[in-house]
């Protein structure tokens, strides 16, 4: 997938790099596959801001994507569409026999008219979902389950993929996009292929307004805030508070590790930081 560069008829358009959506077919969004998405501006039930720098943006409807992939039978890809809630594209599929419609994450190279399938006996083909114990070693996969039946939770962003390295008994060894290698149960489902929209990481919005359209408000530097708003705020003029860098809630930054060792390192084979 290529990027589109616009003519610099305004200063904000000079550095804009947009994704080329020519491969998308668009089409109507089925009402049964969307849900209302209410904006809260980063506020909790008490009206206090708990997720700062959020608010505004265009109205969106949430697409009900099937991350479980347990529906049996062949399904035909009827449309490739843009999803405002995620960086990857989604594919609208229709199951043969029942005629049921469903959204799935669209892997790179999937086209309208292709057939996808899910199940233990599904063929090794782009877009098919099956247990990782049935997938050959070295295959590229995405939408990976962590526990059997708990829906895919890993590798769902645009252009990402994981690689199935080996099998050891009922477990498989998977290399994640971060470089981390870990054990996962072989009964967990995964989808074959790499996710589409490969050039998403190279997109440049070009102006602040494009960020506001996505529901993101300006982010001032912490040292420019008041002490009540940030631990690093306050002081007279352009001065530093003297405390080490931290987040808005006081968690140290630049090197402080927040991973829960008792949970996430149990099945770790290789850390993502080790070369």
- pLDDT top residue among 239 and 138: 138
Per-residue pLDDT tens digits for 67-88: 999 998 999 999 999 999 999 9
Instruction: Tell which residue, 205, 91, 85, has the closest CA to residue 157.
Output: 85
DSSP state of 49: B
Rounded Cα–Cα distance for residues 61 and 35 (Å): 6
Flag whether pLDDT at 211 surpasses 90: yes
Which strands form 129-131's sheet, in the order they lie side by side?
Answer: 129-131, 189-192, 140-142, 162-168, 171-175, 181-185, 268-270
Flag whether pLDDT at 1 surpasses 70: no
> Can you give the residue ranges of every domain in the chain?
3-201, 224-275
| Mean pLDDT (whole number) for 196-214 | 93
Per-residue pLDDT tens digits for 86-123: 999 999 999 998 899 999 999 999 999 999 999 999 99
Q: How far apart are the first and last CA of the chain?
A: 30
- DSSP-derived secondary structure for 86-116: SSS-EEEEEETTT--EEEEE-BTT--TT-EE
Q: What is the pLDDT of residue 187?
A: 96
Query: Which CATH superfamily, name and number, covers 3-201?
Result: Nucleic acid-binding proteins (2.40.50.140)
- Tell me the pLDDT band of 42, cut-offs 50, 70 and 90: very high
Q: What is the pLDDT of residue 115?
A: 96
Rounded Cα–Cα distance for residues 56 and 40 (Å): 9
Per-residue pLDDT tens digits for 25-37: 989 999 999 999 9
Rounded Cα–Cα distance for residues 257 and 275 (Å): 18
Q: What is the pLDDT of residue 275?
A: 63
**Is beta strand 189-192 parallel, antiparallel or unpaired with respect to 140-142?**
antiparallel
**Cβ atoms of residues 274 and 175 within 8 Å:** no
Per-residue pLDDT tens digits for 167-200: 999 999 999 999 999 999 999 999 999 999 999 9
Question: Phi and psi for 208 in degrees, rounded to 5?
Answer: -65, -30
What pTM did the predictor assign? 0.90
- Tell me the pLDDT band of 258, cut-offs 50, 70 and 90: confident
């Amino acid at each position: 997938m290529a990027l589109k560069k616009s003519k610099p008829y305004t200063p904000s358009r000079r550095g804009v790099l947009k994704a080329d959506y020519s491969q998308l077919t668009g089409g109507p969004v089925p009402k049964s596959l969307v849900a209302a998405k209410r904006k809260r501006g980063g506020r909790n039930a008490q009206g206090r801001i708990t997720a700062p720098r959020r608010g505004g943006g265009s109205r969106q409807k949430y697409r009900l994507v099937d991350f479980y992939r347990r529906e049996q039978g062949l399904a035909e890809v009827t449309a490739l569409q843009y999803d405002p809630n995620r960086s990857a594209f989604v594919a609208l599929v229709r199951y043969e026999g029942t005629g049921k419609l469903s959204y799935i994450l669209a892997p790179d190279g999937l086209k309208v008219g292709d057939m996808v399938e899910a199940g233990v006996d599904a063929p090794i083909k782009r877009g098919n979902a099956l247990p990782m114990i049935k997938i050959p070693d070295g295959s590229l996969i995405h939408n990976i389950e962590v526990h059997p039946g708990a829906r895919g939770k890993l590798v769902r962003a645009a252009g990402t993929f994981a690689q199935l390295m080996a099998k050891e008994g009922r477990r498989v060894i998977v290399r994640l996009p971060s470089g981390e290698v870990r054990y996962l149960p072989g009964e967990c489902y995964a989808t074959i292929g790499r996710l589409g929209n490969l050039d998403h990481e190279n997109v440049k919005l070009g102006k602040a307004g494009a960020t506001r359209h996505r529901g993101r408000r300006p982010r001032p530097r912490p040292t420019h805030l008041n002490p009540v708003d940030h631990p690093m705020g306050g002081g007279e003029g352009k001065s530093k508070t003297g405390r080490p860098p931290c987040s808005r809630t006081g968690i140290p930054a630049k090197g402080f590790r927040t991973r829960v060792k008792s949970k996430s390192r149990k099945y770790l084979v290789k850390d993502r930081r080790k070369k």
